[in-house]
Chains A and B, each alone.
Chain A
Amino acid sequence: MIELALLLGLPLAGGIALGALGAHRRAPELNAAVSLATFLAACALTVRVIRHGDLLLAHEQLFIDPFNVFLVALTALVGLTTALFSRPYMRIELAHGRVSAGRLRLYHAMYQMFMLTMLLALTTNNMGLLWVALEAATLSTVLLVTLYRTPRSLEAGWKYFILCGVGIAQALFGTILLYFAAERTLGAEGVTALLWTHLDAVKSQLEPAVLALAFVFLLVGYGTKVGLAPLHSWLPDAHAEGPTPISAVLSGLLLNVALYAVVRCKVLVQGSLHSPLPARMLMGFGLLSVALSSLCLWRQRDVKRLFAYSSVEHMGIATFAFGMGGPVASFAALLHMTVHSLTKSAIFFAVGHAAQKAGSQLMENIRGLVTLSPTIGWGLMTGTLAILGLPPFGVFASEFLILTTAMREQPWAIPILLAALAVAFAAIFRRVQPMVFGETSARRLPHPPALLPVFAHLAIVLVLGLYIPPALADWYRAAARLIGGP
């Protein structure tokens, strides 16, 4: 009880305090401290759920089960490490004159608000509040994407706002349809009809025709936020033009939470429909994202855009795996969400400092990182190898599981997946290799870069690739059972 109150209360209080505090010299430290406290609350909550089982609180508006508690822990962890990374990163941006102290105040306050929306979206039991939280997540980050006020960042912010706004409006319509179907089954008082736990209990009685329509709208709506092709066009721009810590949390957290929303909806619709329609739609969108993004990777010259397209690819893989369903594929998809989130944010941390050193995000201007600062160079190289799915990292384990399951259940998809993975490998590796090695002309940074978050994330990903602790495996299995369905 108290853990959950802290989990949601801390970012809210932190955001207000950071907004009220103004352009204080110690604001980055306060931001990190609030994130640390939130992370500790998430840990306490996790321990409690492992010991005592599911929680249902605040008039059933909030609930915790194995599926969302693992995402809560992951979200709080990435929130903490990104806050640690943003401390020196934003100081360097300030010293380079790209942001003013006043804008940093907005940045810190909105960072905590974004964390609040992510955690609320994960812990709420109400499908309507889930929608509200995801819309609020867009609103809290749109001014961060435009933080540099360059023409390109304004364009990216506008695109982000309009596309996600329209997308999420579709999801609201889907939610209305869901409520409509639920009200017929759960009774007219309507108070419980949007609560996921109640919906889950009666899902087989919900009207299939309405739920099928609702799922189309929900998938298109939340899928826009996941970055599923062809609805992904906001994603590379928002990632490339915003500050790097924001790219890291967009890729590492927002996409995951939006996918979480899609999966929650899929469980309900699958239970009502008894047809493969939702599964096929997820697989179709997933494969299309994988194929399209791997082709787009070839044309990229901006390093952050490159890795943004790689995020589209990996979310596509996870969506495909959730579409296949079944305990193994769902287990693999959850693992993939975890390792992608950790690896991709680690890469963005390294890329952020690399771009600061080179004074440009264009890959042809970033050269020879390894000679000037071996840690950034090796961090980027290791992260890239990890995200490309090389053993012994965790991404290899999850992709291997997904591919072997697909071979048994959906063999037709294997050529597409393998070809896309190979194309993506070549496209990314040929770009990153000269950035890390080769001649250099980089400058020194006015503050020491934050490297601990990079290697902490990569270490976890490495461990997950070699050995998944039994407690964690049980937890994944429980979550996979919950969403795996028949």
Chain B
Amino acid sequence: MAPIPLDLQLLDSCAALLLLLSFAMLSQRRIVSLVNLLAVQGAVLAAATLLLAWRTGQGHLYLSAALTLALKVAFLPWLLHRLIRRLQVYWDTEPLLNISGTMLSGILIVVFAFGLAQPITELASTTMRSAIGIAISVVLLAFLMMITRRKAMSQVIGFLSMENGLFFGAMSATYGMPMVVELGVALDVLVAVLVLGVFFFQIREQFDSLDLHHLESLKGEPR
């Protein structure tokens, strides 16, 4: 068996790191650390994109690596940290499912994700096709995090992590989407976080808290 080239090994490590970071986020209740983990996830993603760009020589991947670096490592974490300081939300409350339960469900999700990725992996011709299962896992783990958390801030971090997973999926299956789409998606993510920033202040102003149990009155019942 031929030795695996170094850059491919590095790419695989990046994929493994992404999955590890997703689990770390799942178990983390300190919101500041969650944002840091998200930034690290963005950095790993940017590194993987850069490696892939270098390996395949596709120019547009350099651009998306730069975009990832600017948006997901620098700007969004900075914005979220600022919001956390302004709103003074440092801890999430006990999640709906306790940490060990969440981790166990997370493992089951990863198994399911690899099963789901099987037909795609078989057809893919890219060098990173084994990572497609990891990308789906990252998406589903972020989804799990959104379901089990109560604070609005953690749900948003889950949302952004889900976007990271989707981006990684696009990269490992097809070397990224066409540039115009990637720019559009990046713009949407940016606007989404800005809108959410405004939104948090509105929630805060109204309820004096960012705990989502205040937002549970609309069940179609009379007011």
Of A154-162, A280-288, A310-318, A370-378, which stretch is located at the interface? A154-162
Query: Which of chain B's residues 193-211 have a Cβ closer than 8 Å to chain A?
Result: 195-196, 198-199, 202-203, 205-207
Query: Which B residues lie within 8 Å of A236 (CB)?
Result: 220
Inter-chain residue pair count (beta carbon < 8 A)? 140
Query: Which of chain A's residues 206-228 have a Cβ closer than 8 Å to chain B?
Result: 207, 209-210, 213
Give residues in B with beta carbon < 8 Å to A. 116, 119-120, 123-125, 139, 143, 146, 152, 155, 159, 162-163, 166, 169-170, 173-175, 177-178, 180-181, 184-185, 187-188, 191-192, 195-196, 198-199, 202-203, 205-207, 212, 214-218, 220, 222-223
Q: Is the CB of A152 within 8 A of B218?
A: yes
Question: In the complex, what's the smallest C-beta–C-beta distance from A77 to chain B, in angstroms?
Answer: 27
Q: For the complex, is A301 an interface residue (Cβ under 8 Å from B)?
A: yes
Q: Is the CB of B181 within 8 A of A194?
A: yes
Chain B contact residues, majority secondary structure: helix
Cα(A299)–Cα(B220), bound, Å: 8
Residue among B139, B199, B206, B218 facing the most chain A CB atoms (10 A cut-off)? B218
Q: For the complex, is A248 an interface residue (Cβ under 8 Å from B)?
A: no
Q: Is the CB of B170 within 8 A of A179?
A: yes
Query: Which B residues lie within 8 Å of A296 (CB)?
Result: 220
Q: Is the CB of B169 within 8 A of A173?
A: yes
Return the contact of A149 from the options B187, B206, B223 (Cβ within 8 A). B206
Return the contact of A157 from the options B175, B187, B199 (Cβ within 8 A). B199
Q: Can you list 24 pairs linking A and B with CB atoms under 8 Å apart?
A: A126-B178, A128-B181, A136-B191, A139-B188, A143-B198, A146-B199, A149-B202, A152-B223, A158-B203, A158-B215, A161-B196, A161-B199, A162-B146, A169-B163, A176-B173, A176-B177, A179-B178, A180-B120, A194-B177, A207-B123, A209-B123, A210-B123, A213-B116, A236-B220
Q: For the complex, is A411 an interface residue (Cβ under 8 Å from B)?
A: no
Question: In the complex, what's the smallest C-beta–C-beta distance from B106 to chain A, in angstroms?
Answer: 17
Cα(A332)–Cα(B177), bound, Å: 36
Query: Which B residues lie within 8 Å of A357 (CB)?
Result: none
Cα(A237)–Cα(B188), bound, Å: 23
Of A183-191, A379-387, A465-473, which stretch is located at the interface? A183-191
Query: Which B residues lie within 8 Å of A179 (CB)?
Result: 170, 174, 177-178
Q: Is the CB of B199 within 8 A of A190?
A: no
Mask, A4-39, CB within 8 Å of B = 1, is: 000000000000000000000000000000000000
> Residue on A with the closest CB to B162?
A169
Q: Is the CB of B217 within 8 A of A154?
A: no
Return the contact of A132 from the options B155, B188, B207 (Cβ within 8 A). B188
Q: Is the CB of B184 within 8 A of A158?
A: no
Q: For the complex, is A434 an interface residue (Cβ under 8 Å from B)?
A: no
Q: Is the CB of B220 within 8 A of A300?
A: yes
Question: In the complex, what's the smallest C-beta–C-beta distance from B148 to chain A, in angstroms?
Answer: 13
Q: For the complex, is A104 an interface residue (Cβ under 8 Å from B)?
A: no
Are A139 and B195 CB-contacts (below 8 A) given A128-B177, A190-B174?
A: yes
Question: In the complex, what's the smallest C-beta–C-beta distance from A123 to chain B, in angstroms?
Answer: 15
Q: For the complex, is A261 an interface residue (Cβ under 8 Å from B)?
A: no
